[in-house]
Amino acid sequence: MGYLVLSIVCSSLIFVIFKLYSRYQVQTSYAIIINYMTASSVGFLYNNEPFGFVGLLTKNWFIPTLFLGLLFILIFNLIAKTSQVLGVSVASVATKMSLTIPVLFGVFLYKEDLGLFKIIGVLLALAAVYFVSVKGNGRVFSIKDLYLPSMVFLGSGLIDAAIQYGEQVMVPENEFPLFSATVFACAACWGVGFVSIKMLRTPMRIQPRTLIGGIALGVPNYFTVYFLLRALQNEVLNSASVFTINNVAVVMICTLLGIVLFKEVISPKNWIGIFLAVISIILVIVF
């Protein structure tokens, strides 16, 4: 449970840092790339196993990390686009409700047994994520707007499922730091490539606050993935329980942090969501 708690703390810290980006006018797209560079550097420093670049290429999980890194950078940008077009609440719902994908992977691919109470807990978790994320001034969007949150939902779920598959099948426990660092390094390389093309048309200077913001984001971002990999090894909780607790707890904590740190107004629906989140976590853990 300790690793799961640490993953939740790091994930919640990421959302707080993103919230501060707008306050301090951080260049988000550049900060995201710096974040990935920082995360990969932390991972390589944290790794205790000897490795070389040639040896890295021979790992059976190296090629998948190239595609996972691409997915990381694309989904981050899609989340930003969804927030801009449809609002932060819609992006949040799409991201966190994606827990259904790794849960289904666990049931059908790894033959994990949920049980009635855990199924009820997962369903309550989905409802909790929705109610916690609903804002009073939420916009009703049309069918044509659904492609953005749908892609965020699918992409976020595939990332979680890929991490889950890596922990179950491909990555030895002693290589978790190296695997995590390589994924972030691949994401950084993809991001540098995309930004380089963009800067050929529109040159832009990276501000010092963007550098600081990227570094501040990169450290918890690395440990979010690393601790999640460790949490998935829990002998008491299956992967469905881990992802449910992780996603619901992050939404609940971020909502409470919004009240305390940013004086956000919480509606009755949000409080219903927090209550459902607590019940869902109890059901998933106890049963």
Neighbours of 238 (CB within 10 A): 21
In Å, how far from its chain's centre is CA 40? 16
- Reference 128, options 285, 241, 255; nearest CA is 255
Q: Is residue 271 part of a domain?
A: no
How far apart, in whole angstroms, are the C-alpha atoms of residue 279 and residue 270? 14
Q: Is residue 164 part of a domain?
A: yes
Q: Is residue 227 part of a domain?
A: yes
Q: Is residue 284 part of a domain?
A: no
Q: Range of 154's domain?
A: 2-112+139-236
Average pLDDT rounded to a whole number, residues 145-171? 84
Q: Three-state SS for 220?
A: helix
Q: Is residue 117 part of a domain?
A: no
Which has more confidence, 234 or 50? 234
Q: Count up the domains in the chain and report the number.
A: 1
- pLDDT value at residue 41: 93
Q: What is the DSSP letter of 273?
A: H
Q: Is residue 245 part of a domain?
A: no
Q: Is residue 161 part of a domain?
A: yes
Sign of the four-CA dihedral 122, 126, 129, 132: negative
Q: Is residue 200 part of a domain?
A: yes
Average pLDDT rounded to a whole number, residues 100-115? 80
- pLDDT value at residue 107: 80
Q: pLDDT of 43-86, one tens digit each?
A: 988 887 777 777 788 888 999 999 999 999 888 778 777 765 66
- pLDDT value at residue 69: 93
Q: Long-range contacts for 215-219 (Cβ within 8 Å, ≥24 apart)? A: 215/34, 215/35, 215/38, 216/17, 217/14, 217/17, 217/18, 217/31, 217/32, 217/34, 217/35, 217/38, 218/34, 218/35, 218/36, 218/37, 218/38, 218/39, 218/41, 218/42, 218/184, 219/38, 219/39, 219/42
Is 67 in contact with 184 (CB distance < 8 Å)?
A: no
Q: Look-up: residue for tokens 């927030």?
A: 83
DSSP-assigned letters across all residues of 68-126: HHHHHHHHHHHHHHHHHHH-HHHHHHHHHGGGHHHHHHHHHTS-----HHHHHHHHHHH
Q: pLDDT of 165-207, one tens digit each?
A: 888 888 888 888 889 899 999 999 999 998 888 877 877 788 9
How far apart, in whole angstroms, are the C-alpha atoms of residue 101 and residue 239? 11
Q: Three-state SS for 20?
A: helix
